[in-house]
Amino acid sequence: MRYFVAVAEELHFGRAATRLHMSQPPLSRAVKQLEADVGALLFTRSPAGVTLTPVGTVLLDEARSLLDHADRVRVRVSAAAGVAVVTVGILGEGTDPAVARLAAAFRRIHPGVDIRVRDTDLTDPTCGLRAGLVDVALTRAPFDATALTVRELRSDRVGVVLRADDPLARRDGLRPAELGDRRWFRFPQGTDPLWQSYWNGGRPREGPVVRAVQECVQAVLWNGTVGLAPLGHDLPAGLAVVPLTGMEPSRVVAVWNEGDTNPLIRSFVEIATTAYRTEGSV
């Protein structure tokens, strides 16, 4: 199921294999076996990538729910066994060099601690923290921080993601008001309103509903939708990013439950603060 969700969110077997830290052939075999078990195709395959079939779309929601439940079970069993485990939620920042620095430093200081990483989609900026799925999250603000403790690690300027052939892609900068007549990607109903508002430039927008980074990318490539992204991130061919002026930077934060006295969480946050203290913050 984890393999299936990775392919469904990346919409590309190669990218999913990279995300899962495995080669592509066993991933393809596992998905084909799952299709055989289900008795239906889950993906429509093409040279450009894959798209979900109607059956795959239904299974994706069920698979996410199953994996959430499995994570809860694992957390509770580990706690009962007294195992030194820290579960970290990461919101689409796995390729950030600061994450690699953080991982290396944490392993060096706490070699006996088992770190488990939970990749999350864009619909929950707390990465499952409120649901008890993770102990600490590396994510982006703003979101409802009630009963949570938030430590800012870095701030990044934001840009508008456009198709490379869009006339606006040739501009040196844009303001949100200049994009008022465009369709934007947006998150599902029920997503944290502070989070939704920030990534929609401060007001309600019309456009396709997305859950994962790759769905945002495909919405721009196929539909000419516009959206926002932190500057400095690599983009696929055919896309461009133009700096957006008049908007607050995107804040990278560590967040954990208020009152959590676990010393490993405190140590994680301190190590993260050092790892993210990089040139280029604004």
Model confidence at 233, pLDDT cuts 50, 70, 90, reads: confident
Average pLDDT (169-180) is 91
- Where does CATH 1.10.10.10 sit in the chain? 1-80
Instruction: Choose between 38 and 48: higher pLDDT.
Output: 38
In CATH, which of 3.40.605.10, 1.20.140.10, 3.40.190.10, 3.30.565.10 is domain 158-248?
Answer: 3.40.190.10
CATH code that applies to domain 84-154+250-282: 3.40.190.10
Q: Give counts: helices (H), strands (E), the chain.
A: 8, 10
Dihedrals phi, psi of 57, to nearest 5 degrees:
-65, -40
pTM for this entry: 0.70
The residue among 257, 229, 244 whose CA lies nearest residue 95 is 229
Q: What is the CATH number of domain 1-80?
A: 1.10.10.10
pLDDT computed for residue 83 by the predictor: 54
Per-residue tokens: 232 = 């400095």
**Chain segment 148-158, per-residue pLDDT in tens:** 999 999 999 99
**Mean of the per-residue pLDDT values for the chain?**
87
Q: pLDDT tens digit string along 89-128?
A: 998 655 688 899 999 999 998 888 889 998 888 889 999 9
Rounded alpha-carbon distances, angstroms, from residue 205 to 108, 200, 201, 202, 221 = 46, 6, 9, 9, 18
pLDDT at residue 55, rounded to an integer: 96
Residue 137 structure tokens = 């999250």
Dist. CA 36–CA 202, nearest whole Å? 45
Whether 88 contacts 118, CB under 8 Å = yes
Comma-separated ranges of CATH 3.40.190.10 domains in the chain? 84-154+250-282, 158-248
Q: What's residue 93's pLDDT? A: 53
pLDDT (average), residues 189-207: 90
Q: How far is it, in rounded angstroms, from Cα 58 to Cα 39?
A: 14
